Amino acid sequence: MQRRFVSIWFRQLLADWQLIRRPELAGVPFVFAAPDHGRMMITAVSSLAAESGVKPGMRAADAKAICHGLEVLDDKPERPRNLLRGLGEWCVRYSPIVAIDDFGMDGLLLDVSGCAHLWGGEREYLKEIISRLKSKGYTVRVAIADTPGAAWAVSHFGKVTPLIPAGSHPEALLDLAPEALRLEQPILTKLHKLGFYQIKSFMTMPRSVLRRRFGESFLLRLAQALGTADDILVPLQLPVPFQERLPCLDPIKTRAGIEIAISKMLELLCKHMQSEGKGLRTGILTGYRIDGKVVQVSIGTSYATHSISHLFKLFQLKIDQIRPALGIELFVLDAPKVDDVEVPQEQMWTVQSGLDSQSVMRLIDRVAGKVGAEVIHRYLPATRYWPERAISRAGSITEKKTTEWRIDQPRPTELLKQPDPIEVMALIPDHPPKFFIYKGMQHHVVKADGPERIEREWWLDQGEHRDYYQVEDEKGGRYWLFRSGHYGGEQKYKWFIHGFFA
């Protein structure tokens, strides 16, 4: 696939941004200035200020002298980068790889390989970008070429069509000034002193001569523009290996339309994951609205899956959270977290239960989609004495237990996190309670079994053992009670309730 790149130059980035925020400045010349060695130096100018001869790098005091009514606004060092970052995130709708132009800090570079056909070709693609940014109030120049350097050069200095055909970027550079190669000022000064005012004047000269005169950085910039050296873009958002994009001819603003978009992207995404032996664990659906805002929902699964129907049902639960407003023009479906899919062995009779059953796992995913994954927990047995310590929370739904559950003694269906104290009347020394009072209600014991002694973990803390009893009251309720310590002795015994049987 032919690599293609787009350069977007915001000719008056700060000035346009300010006019969007304060339209009343449209008829007022203004500049941005920042302190530099005790002086206020101009960093950006509006078009009206530029017409009066004000330029970046000039002292604010001098600019006021030559431009009547000039308004000086305070600039911040990180403001251009923050603006470009926001604009770059908006431009993700046109390409998954968007980078900030660090050389001039006034533009963006996009890797648009394989993207332009979605808008009907490169010409329509560029028109779409220009018209949308212009409608938002930004003055831009755009170019597309085979290399980022050539696209940058044509957008900033080109006087011909901004659409450079594939393979024609060397010819497009010939008549441009050396500044189009993104060179530092000392190198430009040397070139001008030697009479090199166009790239064609030195482009065919021997590399050894150019290296001796202008250094290695000069050769690198020239090679990057011609495509003989890599020009690496650092994207604002790292591309996801498993991603599908769906641009819409007409903005979508209905639930039915959103469901169709999700279904189409899931078909492509699941086919891709299946070919790689992967399954989705986390999915993110992003919608880019025509008003510039972004809406997003996400799903998670308990196990790796590329089942279209299952994933579609999970996204259906989140559609109500999507606010399309005037319409969504681009959908992006990402799978940032995937795992290997275990292919089950074919069996003539399948008798699976619990977490080994796919239907149970899918039910857990749907419940998590409604109430939130954070409220669903799975517990595994732990090798501990105290019942409240004999369980541990699993890190995942597929984590295996390292020890077996204790089944030699009955355990309550519901176990309290911490035992609650109760008042008890019991015969001594080892008889179960005759009755007990729990939360102000008296329970008369009609049946009892026990005691089961559980020793304290003396290597962790000091204290008494526990004698547990299973008791049933006159209403049929069954409880798990214990006495801490012996009757008599130096320490006073206490009674607690620790759980409830079904």
Separation CA 181–CA 163 (nearest Å): 18
Tell me the three state secondary structure of residue 258: helix
Question: Which residue has 């799978």 as its token pair?
Answer: 335
- Integer Cα distance of 143 and 141 in angstroms: 7
Q: With 0-12 CB in 10 A as exposed, 13-18 as middle and 19+ as buried, what is 442?
A: exposed
User: Which tokens is 157 given?
Assistant: 């200095």
- Say if residue 381 is preceded by a cis peptide, omega within 30 of 0: no
Q: What is the mean pLDDT of each run of 10 residues along the chain (502 residues)?
A: 91 93 91 90 92 91 91 91 93 91 91 88 93 93 95 91 92 93 93 92 91 92 93 86 88 93 94 92 92 90 88 91 91 92 57 60 73 74 83 74 79 90 84 92 92 84 87 94 76 84 87
Contacts of residue 19, Cβ cutoff 8 Å, sequence gap at least 6: 25, 26, 46, 137
Check for a shared fold between 1-11+80-239 and 243-369.
Answer: no
Please report which residue ranges of 52-94 form alpha helices under DSSP H. Answer: 60-66, 79-90
Alpha-carbon gap, residue 412 to 32, rounded angstroms: 72
- Identify whether the C-beta of residue 494 lies closer than 8 Å to the C-beta of residue 484: yes
Integer Cα distance of 307 and 279 in angstroms: 8
- Distance between CA atoms of 93 and 140, rounded to whole angstroms? 17
Of 267, 266, 269, 262, whose CA–CA distance to 241 is shortest?
A: 269
* Class at the top of the CATH hierarchy for domain 243-369: alpha beta
Please state the domain extents for the chain: 1-11+80-239, 243-369, 414-500
Compute the distance between CA of residue 46 and CA of residue 63 in angstroms, rounded to an integer.
Answer: 12
Q: What gap in Å lies between CA 78 and CA 138, rounded to an integer? A: 19
Contact 149, 141 (CB under 8 A): no
Q: Which helix (H) or strand (E) holds 218?
A: helix 216-226
Spatial distance between the Cα atoms of 272 and 278, rounded to a whole number of angstroms: 9
Spatial contact of 376 and 393, defined as CB atoms under 8 Å apart: no
Q: Would you state the pLDDT for residue 397?
A: 67
What pLDDT is attached to residue 323?
92
Q: Which residues of 263-279 are buried (b: 16+ CB within 10 A; e: fewer)?
A: eebbeebbebbeeeebb
Residues in the chain: 502
Angle at CA 219, nearest 5°, toward 217 and 223? 120
Q: Is 231 helix (H, G, I), strand (E, B) or coil?
A: coil
**Helix or strand or coil: residue 195?**
coil
The pairing of beta strand 441-454 with beta strand 466-473? antiparallel
3-state secondary structure of 255: helix
Q: Which amino acid is at 219?
A: L
Cβ neighbours of residue 234 under 8 Å, at least 6 residues apart?
99, 100
d(CA 161, CA 151): 11
3-state helix, strand, coil in the chain (%, to 5): 35, 30, 35
180-209 burial, b at 16+ Cβ within 10 Å, e below that, comes to bbbbeeebbebbeeeebeebeebbeeeeee
Q: What is the per-residue pLDDT for 348?
A: 46
Q: 218 φ, ψ to 5°?
A: -65, -45
Q: Do 465 and 456 contact (CB within 8 A), yes or no?
A: yes
Rounded to two decimals, what is the model's pTM? 0.68
Reading the block at residue 322, the tokens are 């999507």
Residues whose CB is less than 8 angstroms from the CB of residue 187 and which lie 6 or more positions away in sequence, other chains included? 178, 214, 215, 217, 218
According to CATH, what is the number of the domain 1-11+80-239? 3.30.70
Nearest of 214, 206, 164, 166 to residue 186 by alpha carbon: 214
